[in-house]
Amino acid sequence: MSGINVWISVVLYIIFAPIAGGLIAGIDRIISARMQGRVGPPLLQPFYDVFKLMAKESIAVNRQQKLYVFCFLFFVIVTGAIFFAGGDLLLAIFALTLASIFLIIAAYSTFSPYAYIGAEREMLQVMAYEPMVILTVVGMFMVTKSFNVLDIASYSQPLLYTLPGIFLGFLFILTIKFRKSPFDISMSHHAHQEIVRGVITEFSGPELAMVEVAHWYENVFLLGIVCLFFASNWIIAIVLAIVVYLLEIYIDNNNSRLKWQHTLGSAWIVALILGVGNIAFLALR
């Protein structure tokens, strides 16, 4: 990809990813409401909420909190920019992990006991999903011999055929990454789940808006990885991403939150059986 095309891809991602992410969040709320026998909010409600938060006065415990939240948003955007520009997938994953660390530090910087608990649970989530994320990248490298997103996307056959275990394992940890039940242990997007909102308890106004927008960017990036498993046919890849997200909504609305021990243990077991098992098969065939 030429330098101009790279910059065009980055600019398009920065502009349109939050729009797509906000619409996905709106559809999520509507479907969840209908599954619970409610009418639900309008499709654009997530945008209304963010604009309202941005218009509020910025009230932070300290100046560092604002910086950490901004860094969280910045590195999430960098993650997607690397991915959709066709860059190094492993580097994108490292950037996303760095973003999560800044969110954790932002919660710790508030000196709130509720935020402390949320930050500790956020760290547990990182420990739970990170092994499977790394195994996903390693599996794609073993098949395509490249970490480059363009090389992976242009591979001759769908990765789903050779990485079924990796795909199922990644699908499992997506429930954690999307912050959906039963693994939304550090925070939830649904008010009925908790009174105190975990890692974002002390965030408000523009800072909370940045966290929400960062999640929109992140969700688009994660669905982009799902598309890589069937990148040889982008129509099927997009349909696959839609089906995966609908499945996550179904799981979210039919399960209650589990304890952190279950989240950590089940994610590692899945990574060991499906992730390591699939990679071992590739290495021995």
pLDDT in tens, the chain (285 residues): 566 878 888 999 999 999 999 999 999 999 999 998 888 899 999 999 999 999 988 777 777 888 999 999 999 999 999 999 999 999 999 999 999 999 999 999 888 888 888 889 899 999 999 999 999 999 999 999 999 999 999 998 999 999 999 999 999 999 999 988 888 877 766 654 554 567 888 888 889 899 999 999 999 999 999 999 998 888 999 999 999 999 999 998 888 888 888 889 999 999 999 999 999 999 987
Q: Which amino acid, 200?
A: I
Neighbours of 114 (CB within 10 A): 18
pTM, two decimals, is: 0.92
In a 3-state reduction of DSSP, which class is residue 148?
strand
In a 3-state reduction of DSSP, which class is residue 188?
coil
CB 32 within 8 A of CB 40: yes
Integer Cα distance of 21 and 247 in angstroms: 17
Integer Cα distance of 206 and 182 in angstroms: 29
Integer Cα distance of 6 and 189 in angstroms: 33
- Report in angstroms the alpha-carbon separations of 231 from 53, 140, 212, 234: 37, 12, 28, 5
